[in-house]
A and B are shown apart, each in its own frame.
Chain A
Amino acid sequence: MTDEREITLTVNGTEHTVEVEPRRLLVHAIREDLDLTGTHIGCDTGNCGACTVLKDGEPVKSCLMFAAQADGAEILTVEGMEDLPEADGIHPLQEGFREEHGLQCGYCTPGMLMSGKALLDEDPDPDEETIRDAISGNLCRCTGYQNIVRSIEYAADELADRAAADGGAVAADAGTDGGTAQTPSPEDGHEPPAVGGDADTFCGREDCCGGPSGADPFDRDALLDDADDATDAADRAAEAADDATDRGDSV
């Protein structure tokens, strides 16, 4: 009566076929069958949101649905963020959490990133209240949320800047509205990721401060590559802005 059944889950773009009992939760299928342990189990009651994943683009708590109910669905977990079109080495949200100290113990972070991603897909320029509502299903016991809000704001700004720099190409891929993107300028005070700064302040521990770890989404080498790329992108953006100013365009 508890026969296993075969289901297909497309997780982070890769199709997987797994055999599950009807009672198997989606979060257990993701963590144990697919070995993607970035998605966390926090409270086991549906309160904390650490298990949040995107199912067909919508944030859901993967401890509150059975794996069989996700048969045929597209799932995004934290492991897939670096491969998204808007990611450049790491995802702007991950970069935001690093830059703005959006995590301390990091347990809630994968879920926060998923809720943040769902929010920015819907609303590329959210105000603080909207951000707080979007993460209201995710509990954090360390940060007091202030820096998490700032991290998501950072990502929104970063995406807008990149959209402007790339002429809207990234924004279109990411489902954001290129038309509302801001052109970066010295006045808005936005700085590209600090390359030397992070490298210099790395504390030396694995899995901390962007330190080295194979599974760490905040991979240091990737970060450094990313920072180089971002610097280049920022340079291009500044040039584009200068060109626009020269032409007298109203941007």
Chain B
Amino acid sequence: MKSAPFEHHEPETVDEAVSLLESLDDPTILAGGQSLVPMLRFRLANPDVVVDINGIDSLDYLSEEDGHLRVGALARHADVADSDVIDDRYGSFADAAPLVADPQIRNRGTVVGSVAQADPKGDWGSVLLAHEGEVIARGPDGDRAIPADEFFLLPYDTTLGEDELITEVRVPVPGSNEGSAYHKLKRKTGDYAMAGVGVRLTFDDDGTIESAGIGMTAVDITNARATDAEEHLEGERPSPDLFAAAGELAAEQSNPESDEHGGADYKARMVDVLTQRALGDAAERAGTVTVKRRVTQ
């Protein structure tokens, strides 16, 4: 099926893109297109104007700079999976990238596009929430940093302005006492998550959890933080009991819906399991004593 006709703009700079967004009537931004193109074809989206940002070379980057890992709007999922920048310190990114869809889609789809799409089943939103990352939006008045937990509103709806373009998402560079992980349950390779959990743990020098971030995928109307579990972890030393309690709190705070892939109770239980597994990996990657998991495969 074909898209409805649309006007196609291909700006080559961010400024050009932003002025197009400002002047055009209800434009839609096209980045990797792996969600948008089918939406256009099924006419779930019917924009008169598409602003294709693939020609803005300055947005094609993935780098560590000014204390942040910066993921430019044209960095593809495959770029994250293959990047030398994504080393052991970025466990959650390294875990999530190869779990997004399939190789072809990872070659085209972008991290920023996935965040902007705000599908509650998207993986990157949870990683961003776990790392307390930010969304950087350029509008007519310049750049604006939107904290990840103020970005997602509803499925496919965010606090991004209509005349704003996300130029990058970023997370603080992890310190030596930090570890992170992303675990995802799906029916088969390439599927969206039935449930997913991203976790970041930062430790004091004495091995106490200084701060914790947990983002959940596909178990609420948006990617959502498990704040009760985060608070329960902070100030404690890692142990199987502690992680089990955090898993339960995350499950309680999740709000999954029953569907053809599983009931709500089952998905909440999976949040519990995935949270414990991700916490175990994050603690191990932070270099603390390995915490034996209570939940095994």
Cα–Cα distance between A194 and B207 once the two chains are bound (Å): 65
Confirm or deny: A104 has a beta carbon within 8 angstroms of a beta carbon on chain B: no
Q: Is the CB of B52 within 8 A of A115?
A: no
Known A22-B7, A22-B8, A69-B54: A59·B107 in contact at CB below 8 Å: yes
Q: In the assembled complex, how far is the CB of residue B160 from the closest CB belonging to chain A, in whole angstroms?
A: 23
Please tell me which stretch of A132-140, A208-216, A223-231, A238-246 contacts chain B, meaning at least 4 of its Cβ atoms lie within 8 angstroms of it.
Answer: A132-140
Taking a contact as CB atoms under 8 Å apart, the answer to whether B40 and A23 are in contact is: yes
Q: Mark B2-19, 1 if CB is under 8 A from A, else 0.
A: 111111101000000000
Residues A64 and B105 in contact, CB atoms below 8 Å apart: yes
For residue B42, which residue of chain A has the nearest CB? Answer: A45
Query: What A residues does B189 contact at CB under 8 A?
Result: 132-133, 136
Cross-chain contact A66 with B37 (CB below 8 angstroms): yes
Instruction: Answer whether residue A14 sits at the interface, using C-beta atoms and an 8 A cutoff.
Output: no
Nearest B residue (CB) for A57:
B107
Interface residues on B, range: 20 to 34
A46 touches B37 (CB 8 A): yes
What is the CA–CA distance of A58 and B107 in the complex, to the nearest angstrom? 7
A77 interface contact, C-beta 8 A: no
Other-chain contact of B38, A2, A23, A45, A52 (Cβ < 8 Å):
A45
B242 at the A/B interface (Cβ < 8 Å)? no
Assess the B5–A115 pair: CB atoms within 8 A. no
Check B33 against A64 for contact (C-beta < 8 Å).
yes
Cβ of A102 within 8 Å of any chain B Cβ, yes or no, is no
Alpha-carbon separation in the docked complex, A49 to B101 (Å) = 12
Q: In the bound complex, do residue B5 and residue A64 qualify as a contact, i.e. CB atoms below 8 Å apart?
A: no
Residues from chain B with Cβ under 8 Å of A133 in the complex: 98, 103, 189
What total count of A-B pairs have CB within 8 Å? 83
Query: CA–CA, A44 to B40, complex, Å?
Result: 12
Bound Cα distance from A68 to B7, whole angstroms: 12
Report Cα–Cα, A101/B61, bound state, in Å. 43
B155 in the interface, Cβ–Cβ < 8 Å?
no
Say yes or no: A61 contacts B50, CB within 8 Å: no
Known contacts A22-B50, A58-B107; is A2 also within 8 Å of B33 by CB?
no
Pair A64/B7 contact, Cβ less than 8 Å: no
Return chain A residues, CB-CB under 8 Å to B294: none
Q: Is the CB–CB distance between A44 and B1 below 8 Å?
A: yes
Contact A69 B7 (CB under 8 A): no
B1 touches A65 (CB 8 A): no
A23 to B48, CA, bound (A): 11
Q: Please report which residues of chain A, range 13-57, place their CB below 8 angstroms from some CB of chain B when the two chains form the complex.
A: 21-23, 25, 44-46, 49, 52
Determine if A64 and B54 form an interchain contact, defined as CB atoms under 8 angstroms apart: no
Which of B52, B78, B102, B190: most chain A CB closer than 10 A? B102
Q: Is B144 interfacial (CB-CB < 8 Å)?
A: no
Nearest-neighbour CB distance to chain B for A127, whole angstroms, equals 15
Is B7 in contact with A2, judged by CB distance below 8 angstroms? yes
Q: Is A9 an interface residue (CB 8 A)?
A: no
Asked whether B6 lies within 8 Å of A22 as measured between CB atoms, the reply is yes
Within 8 A of B (CB), among A46-105: 46, 49, 52, 58-61, 63-66, 68-69
The 3 A-B residue pairs with the shortest CB-CB distance, nearest first, are: A137-B102, A22-B8, A2-B5
14 A-B pairs with CB atoms under 8 Å apart are A22-B5, A23-B2, A25-B2, A25-B41, A49-B102, A52-B104, A60-B108, A61-B108, A64-B33, A64-B105, A66-B33, A66-B52, A133-B189, A136-B102
Interface residues of B (CB under 8 A from A): 1-8, 10, 33-34, 37-38, 40-41, 48, 50, 52, 54, 78, 98, 101-105, 107-108, 189-190
Further contacts, 11 of them, CB under 8 A, given A59-B104, A115-B103, A137-B190 = A22-B8, A44-B41, A46-B38, A58-B78, A58-B107, A61-B104, A63-B37, A68-B8, A69-B33, A115-B104, A118-B103
